[in-house]
Amino acid sequence: MALAALGVSARALRSRSWLLGTWQTQIRDTHQRASLLSFWELIPMRAEPLRKKKKVDPKKDQAVKDRLKKRIRRLEKASQELIPIEDFITPVRLLDKARQRPPVELPFEESERRALLLKKWSLYKHQEHEKERDAIRTMLKSQQEALQELQLMSPELHAEATKRDLSLFPFEREGPDYTPPVSNYQPPEGRYHDITKVYTQVEFKR
Amino acid sequence: MAAPIRQSLFGVAKGRWRFEGLWAGSLGSRSLALAAAPSISGSPWRLLGAVCLQRPPLVSKPLTPLQEEMAALLQQIEVERSLYSDHELRALDEAQQLAKKKADLYDEEGDEQNVLLTQDMEDAWEQKFLQFKPGARITEADKKNDRTSLHRKLDRNLVLLVKEKLGDQDVWMLPQAEWQPGETLRGTAERTLATLSENNLEAKFLGNAPCGHYKFKFPQAMRTESSLGAKIFFFKALLVTGDFSQPRKKGQRVWVCKEELGDYLRPKYLAQVRRFLLDL
């Protein structure tokens, strides 16, 4: 009974104080309100209830990170994909049997002629190689002698002559063609579409 | 005591050298006045740097008969060991169809007229190839044997020779200049080229080291204590671009291949020069 009375009185007090509280807030910011009696404007009716901070978030983030790391580790362990060498891969259309030539049977004279020609050729190439070798030897000898003379003449000039020439390499030159360049050549019109396949090798580094 | 005397001599001699002109040369001539002091102090030899300027070939050499035979043989072997190409397969199919048509003797809906035969394609390609006019391998300068032009002997290396007046003699030689203290020998060679061509020629020098040398002694009348003879060091250079502007003095410069060097150079000089020129 007493408890109940206490409870009632406490509730009454609370409600009164609550009403008083809101009334006090009403009075406090009357200068801000549009009209004096606007009560419903005070209470924010459209707001959502405040969201609580999720305690599970850091755990989820950690789990995601772990999954990614596992995936990266697996990729690293797997051997790297090598860039295919297109010259070594025979295109399928060339494995057709219809493409093969019938085998040629050479007559005796032809095979003899070929054997003889190959022998003459090997002799010719041997002689050519010897000539080239001798020429290079004489050139080198001539250079060595010149450097010796220079050394006798003046050691400083010799030292400068034996220094490395850094502007010499990279040395690029276009080789001789079959016909000389035509001075007023007009190349045909058109666009150049480069369709070479470019492969990139991705390195997974830790 | 000795040093100032030597220095004064040097000064006097140098003045006289400048007065003489560019190269108070001393190759084999008696009537020439005594020239400059030695370039290297203490050495009786004079030092000269020369440039062996070569125009590399623009065109490949013609094949010898043996090379032609071998090339033909290799081509034959390659064809024998190859597979049929698309073009050849097409030709074979058409031949088969033609044979079938002749055998069966009936028309196939007139499709044949629209199809391009391989023979037609080959003819068209041949026509297109004939329309292109390539440059001539044997130029006019070859026919006229005009040795001052650069456009001759496109398949050989051409070397530049100049004619210098030494005393009362005209001597053909590789372009050279006297070494001046304070520069390297390669610098001397580059300077020769620059003065000779008035900076029109662009050349790539192949390294700092000389490729050959030639030393000679002056004739007895010309020898002094200080100049006993001269040493010429040759530097190789490859012509990149450029040519001489209109020749002011005709008959002074010549582009020559290795065989023709003998027509111009003195025997001993020639022997040394031939050692470092590669015969193509």
Identify residues of A whose CB sits under 8 angstroms from chain B CBs: 94, 98-101, 104, 114, 117, 120-121, 124, 135-136, 138-139, 141-143, 145-147, 149-150, 153-154, 157, 160-165, 168, 171, 173, 176-182
Distance from CA of B204 to the nearest CA of A (A): 8
pLDDT score at B112: 55
Q: What is the phi-psi region of residue B28: left when phi exceeds 0, alpha when psi lies from -120 to 50, beta otherwise?
A: left
pLDDT score at B142: 77
What is the pairing mode between strands B229-241 and B45-55?
parallel
| Contact by Cβ (8 Å): B261, B78 | no
| Contact by Cβ (8 Å): B193, B203 | yes
Under the banding of pLDDT at 50, 70 and 90, the label for residue B273 is very high
pLDDT score at B64: 95
pLDDT over 70 (residue B245): no
Residues of B whose CB is below 8 A from A100: 83-84
Cis peptide before A170 (omega within 30 of 0): yes
- pLDDT higher for B41 or B54? B54
pLDDT score at A174: 85
pLDDT score at B31: 34
CA B36 to chain centre: 33
Q: Which residue of B has its CA nearest to A187?
A: B132
Percent of chain B scoring above 90 in pLDDT: 34
- Digitized pLDDT (tens) for each residue of chain A, 206 residues in all: 555 555 555 555 555 555 555 666 656 665 665 566 666 666 666 777 877 777 778 889 999 999 999 988 887 777 777 888 888 998 888 888 888 899 999 999 999 999 999 999 999 999 999 999 999 999 999 999 999 999 998 899 999 999 998 988 888 888 899 999 888 888 889 999 999 888 887 776 55
pLDDT score at A65: 92
* Each residue's pLDDT tens digit, B149-159: 888 889 999 99
Q: Is residue B137 exposed (0-12), middle (13-18) or buried (19+ Cβ within 10 Å)?
A: middle
Across the interface, of B66, B155, B275, the residue whose CB is closest to A138 is B275
Query: Residue B256's closest CA among B136, B163, B122?
Result: B163
Residues of A whose CB is below 8 A from B135: 179-182
**Amino acid, single-letter form, for residue B176:** Q
pLDDT over 50 (residue B275): yes
Give the Cα separation of A182 and B154 in Å (integer).
13
pLDDT score at B195: 87
CA A39 to chain centre: 66
pLDDT score at B246: 58
- Cα angle at B76 between B71 and B78, to 5 degrees? 95
Q: In this structure, what token pair is assigned to residue A70?
A: 């596992």
* Each residue's pLDDT tens digit, B17-27: 333 333 333 44
As a whole number, mean pLDDT of residues B256-265 equals: 89
Residues of A whose CB is below 8 A from B154: 180
Give the Cα separation of B168 and B29 in Å (integer).
7
Across the interface, of A145, A168, A178, the residue whose CB is closest to B60 is A178
Distance from CA of B242 to the nearest CA of A (A): 15
Q: Which residue of B has its CA nearest to A149?
A: B213
> 3-class DSSP state for residue B6?
helix
* Each residue's pLDDT tens digit, B132-146: 888 888 888 778 888
Residues of B whose CB is below 8 A from A136: 278
* Each residue's pLDDT tens digit, B90-124: 999 999 988 988 888 766 555 555 578 889 999 99
Q: Which residue of B has its CA nearest to A105?
A: B80
pLDDT score at A36: 60
Mean pLDDT score across all residues of chain B: 80
